[in-house]
A and B are shown apart, each in its own frame.
Chain A
Amino acid sequence: MKTALIIAVMAIVTALLRFLPFLVFRSKTPKYVSYLGKVLPPAVMGMLVIYCLKDVTPMAYPYGIPELIAVACVAGVQAWKRSAIASILSGTLIYMVLIQLVF
């Protein structure tokens, strides 16, 4: 019972966060919010990239080298092929090889 309640609270709070902006700016989106809507996507992707790399240790072995190589691979393949599947697959494979066999 307690478990079900905890799960319900997590589900409700998460849904509230997702629905809140849509409910608040229902009739007409203020110009400021529209502006944020345009500039936030690249900013948030930048934030998520850093968030994913937060556990990298640049000062201690392996100095973030596997992550650096794999991120460069993803960005490079994406710029070259413009295909998310190609870039994500190649970057992930390189990362797996690096941490399992090299570092």
Chain B
Amino acid sequence: MKRKTVKQAFYTSLPVLAGYIVLGIGFGILLRNAGYGVLWAAVMSISIYAGSLQYVGVGLIASGASLITTAATSLMVNARHLFYSISMIDKYKGAGKYKPYMIFALTDETYSLLCDGKAPDRVDANLYRFLVSLFNHSYWIIGGIIGNLLGAVLPFSSAGIEFSMTALFVASLTEQWLATRDHVPALTGLLSTLLCLIVFGRDSFLIPAMLLITLVLTLLRGREEGAK
């Protein structure tokens, strides 16, 4: 069972492999251009492990930002992780010794792979979720190191490869859409965020969007629970 679990976890993590290596390389290059070597890249990717914050973090480090600014920026950029954790509370119950690491490593991409709460047949579900988290983390670290060491000497034009992350979220959304007849939550997420993007602009729409989504889903609670 253990071998099958490892194999399944690796297979599940494959879509993130390409994306994390590429995004990690992007981060590694950015950090190198700011004057920080491979050790810094590794430390950041291991300890922070949050893509968008690490990109923003390069700027914070380079400009010597204050710790208050750093904390506030981290809060704003990563507030959405509260959402992920809330929806995994029940699913991560009983994960035992794996649980602290699984919570620490709950990134956007890992969340999108595990949030449906399903695990393949005949695998140890907790070990499976732990390994998916661990594999993804290692891709991210390796990407950052490669980018920092090799810089901009890639042999082919990789322009557009960052779309793999968008594709991952579109694929997850499609899968969730097909798995249920209740499309209200998905539509709430899409339309609330689109509305906030139009109203607040692309630099500050994410937190209003999260508030609006929570509000709408709370108001729809009676109706949604009645439908189930």
Contacts and interface: CB of A to CB of B under 8 A. Distances in A.
A75 B221 contact: no
Contact of B189 (A19, A42, A79): A42
Contacts of A36: 86-87, 214, 217-218
A99 to B, nearest CB: 5
Contact of B53 (A14, A25, A54, A74): A14
Main secondary structure of the interface of B (DSSP, over half): helix
A15 B85 CA distance: 11
Interface residues of B, number: 95
B193 A32 contact: no
B165 interface: yes
A59 interface: no
A45 B192 contact: no
A25 B91 CA distance: 13
Contact of A19 (B85, B173, B174, B185): B85
A25 B71 contact: no
Interface in B17-55: 18-19, 36, 40, 43-44, 47-50, 53-54
A32 B190 contact: no
Nearest to A40: B87
Given A54-B202, A79-B174, A40 B159 contact: no
Given A14-B53, A29-B90, A42-B176, A48 B82 contact: no
User: Could you tell me the dominant secondary structure of chain A's interface residues?
Assistant: helix
Given A22-B92, A46-B188, A84 B87 contact: no
Given A50-B190, A84-B172, A6 B70 contact: yes
A42 B217 contact: no
A96 B163 contact: yes
Contact of B61 (A7, A45, A75, A84): A7
Contact of A43 (B108, B160, B188): B188
Interface of A: 2-3, 5-11, 13-15, 17-22, 25, 29, 32-55, 67, 70-71, 74-75, 78-79, 82, 84-85, 87-89, 91-92, 95-96, 98-100
22 contacts: A3-B61, A7-B40, A8-B47, A14-B48, A17-B81, A20-B82, A33-B89, A41-B176, A45-B176, A46-B186, A46-B187, A46-B188, A47-B190, A49-B166, A49-B173, A49-B190, A54-B202, A78-B178, A79-B178, A85-B14, A87-B171, A96-B160
Given A42-B183, A44-B115, A92-B160, 10 more contacts: A29-B89, A42-B185, A44-B87, A47-B190, A49-B170, A49-B173, A52-B165, A71-B167, A88-B171, A92-B164
Interface of B: 14-15, 18-19, 36, 40, 43-44, 47-50, 53-54, 57, 60-61, 64-65, 67, 70-71, 74-75, 78-92, 99, 103-104, 106, 108, 111-112, 115-116, 157-161, 163-178, 180, 183-194, 197, 202, 205-206, 209-210, 213-214, 217-218, 221, 224-225
